[in-house]
Structures are given as structure tokens and as C-alpha cells.
């Protein structure tokens, strides 16, 4: 199946359970893959695919405009928005907090959701799938 991907989207967000995370924004790195069920490969028309520029703008607006305690909830919120507004067949998403601890490069989550019977269904995600 075809997909579009957005890799290394940097956004500033207020996300976390610790006081310091609620007060000051921190950098998140988001990687996305959105499954296509389109004729874009044959039609060469933007209307037949998912416009990655619009996806970037919407993801940034959602992340920067709200507060979430957990990355898991932020990811779930973004997946719901992507399915509702862009209609991909499936979504794979990696969200990482950059430099949150001195001894690690990043910490974060991996999500994979598939559209089924009109709703998003959780699927198991293999570590490293987006790497």
C-alpha cells in the first residue's frame, strides 16, 4: 500500500506530568506515515491524495495549542484528528521528547492505528518501524 510520510517534524509542546513540563514548552519530534487509498499515482492530482503541508499545519496547531499529561493521549488525539480530517487507511506515528534526560537521546511512543468499520482500531506496532 502507498503512503506519505513526514519525518522529523519539530514542535514545541506542553506535555508531561511533572510541574516543569506543565510550565515550559519542550521540543517534540514527530514522525508520521499515512496510508493512501488513492489514485494519486495515476491522476497526478493533489485532490486524490493527502496534502502533507496541510497535515503538518494541523498537527502543529493541535500540539502547540493544547496541554496533555501523557504522550499516549497526545498521540491518540492526533490519530483521531488525522482520521477525521484526512481519511488515511492507517496511521503510524512516533512522538519523541527530545533531550528530556541527560543519559538518553529521546523518550517517546510509537502508535499504529488502522481504519476499520468506520473507526480506528489499535494494532500492535513493532519497535523501529518508522526508523
Over the stretch 77-101, which tens digit does the pLDDT of each residue have? Answer: 999 999 999 999 999 999 999 988 8
Stated as kind and residue range, the H or E segment containing 56 is helix 52-64
Tell me the mean pLDDT in the region 35-42.
Answer: 77
d(CA 10, CA 29): 5
Nearest to 57 by CA among 87, 83, 78, 38: 78
Write down the mean pLDDT value for the chain.
86
pLDDT at 21: 83
pLDDT of amino acid 38:
66
More confident residue, 125 or 104: 104
Amino acid at each position: 500500500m502507498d503512503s506519505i510520510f513526514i519525518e522529523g517534524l519539530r514542535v514545541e509542546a506542553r506535555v508531561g506530568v511533572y510541574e516543569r513540563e506543565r510550565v515550559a514548552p519542550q521540543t517534540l519530534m514527530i514522525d508520521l506515515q499515512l496510508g493512501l487509498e488513492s489514485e494519486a499515482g495515476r491522476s497526478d492530482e493533489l485532490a486524490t491524495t493527502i496534502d502533507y503541508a496541510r497535515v503538518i499545519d494541523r498537527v502543529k496547531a493541535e500540539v502547540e495549542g493544547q496541554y496533555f499529561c501523557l504522550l499516549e493521549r497526545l498521540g491518540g488525539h492526533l490519530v483521531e484528528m488525522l482520521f477525521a480530517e484526512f481519511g488515511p487507511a492507517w496511521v503510524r506515528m512516533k512522538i519523541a521528547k527530545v533531550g528530556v534526560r541527560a543519559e538518553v537521546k529521546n523518550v517517546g511512543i510509537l502508535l499504529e492505528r488502522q481504519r476499520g468499520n468506520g473507526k480506528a482500531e489499535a494494532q500492535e506496532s513493532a519497535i523501529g518501524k518508522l526508523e
